[in-house]
Every structure is written in C-alpha cells, then in structure tokens.
C-alpha cells in the first residue's frame, strides 16, 4: 500500500505551506486520477486519506465548516471512501471535527507553528494575519482532543488537556451525533457498510468523469457487470454539469441531501454528493 501526500498541497501558494491560497481543484483531480489509474495499471494499492496528525481538519480546509458543515463533511468522506484503495479515518474526522480557530498564539503547542508565527511577524505580517495563517495551517488543528460529549473537556479527560478544546464541542461531539441519524458519524458508517457490501467498491476499476470541470469530482467504478457512479460538488454553489448524466438502470445508494427522484442529473447542489449503482 502506498501513501502519497501530494493532494494535501493543492492549497499551498507557489508550494509554500505558510502562504494561503484557494485550493486548486483541477490539480487535486489530476493527482487523484494519476495515482488511482496508474496504481491500478501496476496492480498497486492506494491509501485513501484526507487527515492525519500533521494536517488541518479537512472540512475546514476543503469544505465549509460553517453554513455547509454537515453537507461538505459528508461529501469529502464520500469522495475518497468510494475510490480504489483502503480508506483511513483520522480521529474526529468521522464527526466532522473542525480547526479550533484559536485567537491567541498562547493556545498553540506545536513548536513549528509557534516558531513560524514569529517568522511571519519578522516578514512583516501583522499578528492578525499570522494567526489567520496558523488557523489554517498549524498541525495543532488536527491535534485537539477527541470531542466525545458536551461535558467537561468534551469528555476526553477529567483533567485539563495539554491543548484547548475547540468551543464547538458543545454540539459537535460523538454523543450528539450518535443520537442524530442524519449525522456525519452515521454517514461514515453507511460508507463503510457500502464498501463491505459491494465488491465493485472494493475491487472495481476506476474511470474519472467531467474532467474539464474542476469543481466536479466524479468517477465510475466497474466490476463483474456492476457499475458505481459517484458525483461530488466541491463548491458552495450549485454547479451545472457540462453534460447531464442519464440515470437509466441506476439506483440511488447514498446522498447527503434529501433524495430526489430524477431521470438524469443536470446539476449538483452546494457540496452535494451522490452515489448510484447499476447492475
């Protein structure tokens, strides 16, 4: 199994981690297509992941951790869980945990972040600008304690942890999501169940679709007469597909919006994700 990290640099300005830039979705798609297709050709196997202990929270990075928090977290999960390879879930990702949004350098513990904060100030950045950059880039974003419930210290400990708990633990926690059947947690469970149920997800070939639309991350999987279709919108706006996709013969497996009966897909709503099966 091969781990690669190129897709986690598509929002680096000119390759520089500590300079902010909008994600390059075209580059993101190209990287996934290259690794998916060429590893398949060489009988290799990909590790599928968005997060780890050195990366910011993916819903804050490539999604929308405010207005479209739930929809974008589900979409990002579906993107990689239906691909060819082995998906990894980093602690709290299955809840849609976000970057903490610290407003003070004293909240940070990561030595790289603290050092680079002072480097940024020496380069002429204001404190506000430097904190904004750390808020999106610091490794501490992915190192805050697991948010188990809405009790003291988010149920992680009976004593104060080494780093401040994000304020949103009062509603973003495992207990709350366990009780909400429409939660991100339950969506992850559905994705895992689908992979266990269908061989086409486990072993199918992969073909990328709508390659000229950077904001649409879509692909088709095939195996033993079955076909899986996965459509994802990476933006906060409705996006029209360049060509409608006819759904004849397909049945709906999963989506992150209330289901709509359609004969074809012409557009995707903000951060919408759709999964269909044929055969």
Q: Number of folded domains in the chain?
A: 2
DSSP secondary structure letters along 66-107 = STTHHHHHHHHHHHHHTSSSEE---TTGGGT-------SGGG
Instruction: Let me know if residue 195 belongs to a domain.
Output: no
Distance CA(272)–CA(266), nearest Å, equals 13
pLDDT of residue 226: 98
Average pLDDT for the chain = 97
Pairing relation of β-strands 86-87 and 264-268?
A: unpaired
User: What digits encode the pLDDT tens for the residues 12-45?
Assistant: 999 999 999 999 999 999 999 999 999 999 999 9
Question: Domain check: are 168 and 222 in the same one?
Answer: no
- Asked, for residue 56, whether it belongs to a domain, the answer is yes
1 domain-assigned: no
**Partner residues linked to 16 by β-bridges:** 13
Q: In terms of residue numbers, what domain contains 234?
A: 205-278
Per-residue pLDDT tens digits for 199-224: 999 999 999 999 999 999 999 999 99
- pLDDT tens digits for range 62-89: 999 999 999 999 999 999 999 999 999 9
Q: Please tell me the predicted confidence (pLDDT) of residue 261.
A: 87
CATH code of the domain containing 78: 3.20.20.80
Could you say which of 161, 190, 219 is where a domain stops?
A: 190
DSSP code at position 265: E
Q: What is the pLDDT of residues 234-266, one digit of tens each?
A: 999 999 999 999 999 999 999 999 998 889 999
% pLDDT > 90, the chain: 99
- My answer on whether 18 and 63 are in the same domain is yes
Same domain? 41 vs 164: yes
Domain boundary among 133, 167, 190: 190
Q: What is d(CA 125, CA 122) in angstroms, rounded to the nearest whole number?
A: 7
pTM, full prediction? 0.97
Q: What does the alpha-carbon distance between residue 167 and residue 169 come to, in Å, rounded to a whole number? A: 5
Q: Are both 156 and 229 inside the same structural domain?
A: no
Q: Are 221 and 276 in contact (CB under 8 A)?
A: no
Q: Residues 35, 148: one domain?
A: yes
- Structure tokens belonging to residue 159: 């004593």
The alpha helices in the chain, defined as continuous H runs, are: 25-41, 58-61, 69-81, 111-122, 127-137, 174-179, 184-197, 199-203
Residue 197: inside a domain, yes or no?
A: no
Q: Which helix (H) or strand (E) holds 108?
A: none
Establish if 240 belongs to a structural domain. yes
To which residue do tokens 């104060």 refer?
160
The reply to whether 167 and 217 lie within a common domain is no
Task: Identify whether residues 217 and 184 lie together within a single domain.
Answer: no
Give the residue from 9, 8, 194, 213 showing the smallest Cα distance to 83: 194
Residues 100 and 154 reside in one and the same domain = yes
- What's the pLDDT band for 10 if we cut at 50, 70, 90? very high
Query: Would you give the DSSP letter of residue 118?
Result: H
**28 and 59 part of one domain:** yes
Q: Does residue 141 sit in the same domain as residue 31? A: yes
Mean pLDDT, rounded, for 160-181: 97
Do residues 211 and 256 both lie within one domain? yes
Say if residue 127 is in the same domain as residue 209.
no
Q: What is the pLDDT of residue 236?
A: 98
Q: What is the CATH number of the domain that holds 232?
A: 2.60.40.1180
């Amino acid at each position: 199994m091969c781990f690669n990290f190129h897709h986690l640099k598509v929002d680096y300005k000119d390759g520089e981690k500590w300079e902010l830039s909008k994600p390059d979705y075209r580059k993101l798609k190209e990287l996934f297509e290259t690794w998916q297709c060429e590893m398949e050709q060489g009988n290799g196997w990909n590790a599928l992941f968005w997060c780890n202990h050195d990366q910011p929270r993916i819903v804050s990075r490539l999604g929308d951790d405010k207005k479209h928090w739930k929809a974008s977290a589900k979409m990002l999960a579906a993107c990689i869980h239906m691909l060819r390879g082995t998906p990894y879930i980093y602690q709290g990702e299955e809840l849609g945990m976000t970057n903490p949004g610290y407003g003070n350098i004293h909240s940070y513990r990561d030595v790289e972040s603290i050092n680079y904060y002072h480097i940024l100030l020496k380069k002429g950045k204001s404190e506000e600008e430097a904190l904004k950059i750390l808020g999106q880039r610091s490794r501490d974003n992915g190192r805050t304690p697991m948010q188990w419930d809405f009790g003291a210290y988010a149920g992680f400990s009976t004593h104060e942890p080494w780093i401040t708990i994000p304020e949103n633990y009062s509603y973003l926690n495992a207990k709350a999501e366990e009780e909400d059947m429409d939660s991100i947690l339950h969506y992850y469970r559905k994705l895992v169940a689908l992979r266990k149920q269908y061989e086409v997800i486990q072993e199918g070939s992969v073909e990328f679709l709508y390659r000229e639309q950077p904001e649409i991350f879509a692909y088709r999987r095939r195996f033993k007469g079955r076909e899986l279709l996965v459509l994802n919108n990476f933006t906060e706006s409705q996006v029209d597909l360049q060509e409608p996709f006819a759904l004849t013969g397909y049945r709906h497996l999963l989506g992150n919006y209330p289901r709509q009966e359609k004969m074809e897909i012409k557009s995707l709503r903000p951060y919408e994700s759709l999964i269909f099966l044929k055969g």
